[in-house]
Structure 1
Amino acid sequence: MNKGKLKNRMLLILIIAVITFSYGFSQRSKEAGQLNIKKIELGYPSPAIPFYHFRADIELPRESIIEVEAAVDGKVLRATDLRRDSDHENMNRPPVSGRPPSGYSLSQDGTLYKDFNVTGWVRWEPGKEYNIRISVRMKKAVNASSDDTWITATRKVKAPEGVAVFSKDWKNYKSVILSETAGISRKNDPVEVLLAFYPDEAQQLMRDIRVVAVDPKTHELTEVPSQVYDQMEYLKEDDMGPDKDGNPTRHTPLWMPTVTIRVAFLADVPAKTSKVFLVFYNNPN
């Protein structure tokens, strides 16, 4: 075979290979479909979602077991919550079983999803824009496999304006939900909570703690009188060493070093309602 015929044959094989690859890629893309973000917005803390957050309504091309990952301005969130569209609830007084953290709303489980909403923690600033990327791993089983398909969509979202947020000098906060169940409006009622912290975030808790109430209608924050006391430190790390026969005891620690405090504050909660209180801490300044 002369060189000219050999080159033509090689070119023909290359063209066929490219067409085959393109067709296969097109078929896989068509099978995967697209992730449709029907609606996405940034929201204020509420009893159902007691932290500053984004909430997105998602439609998948087909029902699937899924795993969800969300990123805000390129930073992947540690966790997200999932809810089906059919799981309607009162955002200002949800059932206790539906409040985060809840195993019911993990970012991955063994049930099928098609239309759902995903919620993620975002400490946004009023009027600022954020790029939110949502990725869904569509799976045939709970465990991941090479046959899984990832689909992704990104949206730019502007935060609400008009209501101030707490100072950024406080790097972290915890949420407390108080629910009035006896039908009696509470005014300046004393409340005590026991809170746990990672040691690196708890350098000066006695000085840092600030408690603020979130108005459920206007979303305005009001600092309330509070007192911090009874700080305890549990700094010993779990022993992950092998047993006497050299066998590993476990791969996951049973406990982590922890600092706890008790916080008492005065709360106003109208009868038969729920209200969010944010406990800010970790101010290095």
Structure 2
Amino acid sequence: MKHLAVTSILVATLAAPFAFSAAESVERGRDVGDGNVLYDSPYDPKKVDGVTFVAPTVAYPYFEIVVPLGDWTEGKGATLSKVVVNGVDSDSFYVFVDGFSHVQSGWITRDADSAPNVVIVTRSVWHNDEDTTIDIHVSAADRSEPIVKSVNAKAPGSGGVPKGWTRYQSLVLTEPAGLARENEPVEISLTARAEDCADIEKELRLFSVDDGGALTPVAVQTFNPRRFIGRPPGTSNPNYLQHPSQMVEAVFLASVPALASRVYVALYGNDKPSPAPAADTDLKVGGDFPGVVVENKYFVTDLDDSSGQVKSFRIKGRDDKPAPLLTNSLTLAAHWNPDSFSDNGKWGHTFAWNPPDDTTVTANGPIMFRITNRGRMPDWTPQVYASVTYTFYSNSPYMKCTTVTEVRDELNASAIRNGELVLDTHLVDHFVWREKNGALRTIRTAHGPNWQDEWGTRVDQDVPWLAMTNESEGYGVGEVIASSISFNTNRGEATTHRAAFYLYYHHFWNVPLTYFTRGWVYPFSDYQRGPIVKVDPGSTYVEKMAFYPVYLGDGDERYAAFDKATTQIQQPLVQRWGR
């Protein structure tokens, strides 16, 4: 068997070049060393005539200062050790010798006494029209003190950062799907050396960069700041692994044309920053946690006072015949689960938390509100732990939801479910969904065709979206699926049984309800109920999705809102960090 496995690998390896020959190389630029990837800088490092100030572009998203030193004649063992720009230490610099990059370190010479055409590059910010001094520190084998070469130059009149800022990180956002993005929320994280700024959360400012290099301030919301103190006082910090740092997360709204890219620059290192621009927000959060009311210009969502689960949706935007409140009268929980059902014959639902074991508000600002409720499954399946996270954005017609269901002790399960929205039956009349092959499907909200199959139909558990709609009144609420996975931390694969979405219409209940739910372990799926499934500890079920209450379109655009949201959520703006 071992021999067969090795043979298979060899065959696949030999066949690979034929498939690879059709691949497009993404290398661009010029050769800067034997075997190195091509270097796509706007300058030729072999032909730098004077100090060059570089501003970020989509193709090359860096602030740089390029300094030609000419020929090095000051001995062997010379290594670039530090670059200082107007008194600010650079934390990113490198060397070219006659156009070749020394990728292993900043060495200029080793055994030779000289080196031709030395060029130093520092990824440092610069300021328009500023007199700039670049101090280049080089250690040499036969010198006890570093050699310092100072070069003076005047920065260009445009393309630089506002005065006062000393550090930057750049980001390119690319639209991958052919759908123009307008005010799309983008979440980022930044980390910096502790000495590079006093407080990155307070100092952070964000700018967009246009094609001409002009910087425009962008409103940004920061959250979740943290610090790494490094080694204990009195000990050294020999490398980046122990160096003190600070970190922050942030969110902003980005607009990028279809299949295009845009550069953004995050600035910090300014202990007297100018006021940040205020966000143009429609996001409002009111009430006490966890039972807050969240709204923007598209919808209002009420979270239950006890459990923190979504209680109801109210759609905005139609004064004539507005949609009724979307909820259910049985539990007052439009978002019903995660839930679990075991051999004791009793359910545990997250809507029954009273309250959750823990509630965490990660972010609460003008651009984003995020709340997480978590704890042991309430009531009757204590073997299961769950968390439910809701994220709301300014100017966004949908809210995001992430849930995690973890079986910590062996569970005799009849059901483990998530992804469930439940409405009063009179509110909707159809289920609609988009298949993974692109087909659009619908059925009436009606009981299954027989006593055994009480669900109307089953749908793949990872379809792009599914919704309950009122076709006569032209509204609905959808669930857009970003991802849906299961795993086991002990065995790799989680216990699953007949995983699918099940679409139900319970007209015979005392309070008639219509809903869909994703069964992960679901012998309960048949009305005559299958036998119990033992679920292994460590089995974990995760979903990332968005809830979208919306008025339906007309004609071919009937469900265009769900398709557009699917593209936005499954193919978000691509992030590529410059430095």
Both structures adopt the same fold (TM-score exceeding 0.5): yes
Q: Residues 144-223 of structure 1 correspond to what in structure 2 (within 5 A)?
A: 145-146=141-142, 154-162=150-158, 165-168=161-164, 171-180=165-174, 182=176, 184=178, 187-188=181-182, 189-199=184-194, 201-203=197-199, 205=201, 207-215=202-210, 217-223=211-217
Aligned position for 1:81: 94
67, 73, 76: which one pairs with 2:79? 67
2:50 is the counterpart of 1:39: yes
Equivalent-residue separation in structure 1 for 2:232 and 2:118 (angstroms): 41
Q: What 5-or-longer segments of structure 1 have no aligned partner?
A: 1-35, 89-102, 138-143, 243-248
What is residue 277 of structure 1 aligned with on the other side? 264
Per the alignment, residue 55 of structure 1 pairs with 66
Q: Summarize the Cα distance change of 1:133–1:164 in structure 2 as closer, same or farther, 3 Å threshold.
A: closer
Which structure features the higher share of helix residues? Answer: 1
Contact 1:135-1:151 within 8 A present in 2 as well = yes
One-letter amino acid of the counterpart of residue 107, structure 1: G
Distance 1:178 1:84 in 2: 29
**Which of 235, 238, 258 in structure 1 is aligned with 2:231?**
238
Secondary structure of the 2:51 match is: strand
Structure 2 match to 1:130: 132
Stretch of structure 1 that moved more, 38-47 or 265-274 = 265-274
Aligned residues: 219
Residues 154/179 of structure 1: CA separation in 2 closer, same or farther (3 Å cut): same
Residue matched to 2:107: 108
**Mapped contact 1:196–1:258 kept (Cα < 8 A):** yes
RMSD of Structure 2 on Structure 1 (CA): 4.6
TM-score under structure 1 length normalisation: 0.55
Aligned CA distance change for structure 1 residues 272 and 204 (closer, same or farther; 3 Å): closer
Query: Which amino acid counterpart does residue 211 of structure 1 have in structure 2?
Result: L
Letter in 2 for 1:104: V
Q: 1:119 aligns with which of 109, 118, 121?
A: 121
CA distance in 1, matches of 2:240, 2:105: 21
Shift, 1:223, TM fit: 1.6
- Residue 191 of structure 1 deviates from its aligned partner by 1.9
Post-superposition offset of 1:250? 9.8
Q: Could you tell me which amino acid in structure 1 is paired with residue 167 of structure 2?
A: Y
Distance in 2, matches of 1:49 and 1:257, equals: 29
- Aligned equivalents of 1:75, 1:271: Cα separation in 2: 39
**Conserved in 1, the CA contact under 8 Å of 2:237 and 2:243?**
no
Distance 2:173 2:100 in 1: 21
The letter of the residue matching 2:266 is V
Matched, 1:264 2:256: no
Deviations 1:213-252 (A, max 9, x none): 122x3110012232211223444x435999xxxxxx9966
Highest RCO, 1 vs 2 (Cα 8 Å, sep ≥ 6)? 1
TM-score of the two chains, using structure 2 as the length reference: 0.31
> 190-199 or 108-117, which moves further after superposition?
108-117
Distance 1:199 1:131, change over 3 A: closer
Q: Distance in 2 between matches of 1:84 and 1:179?
A: 33
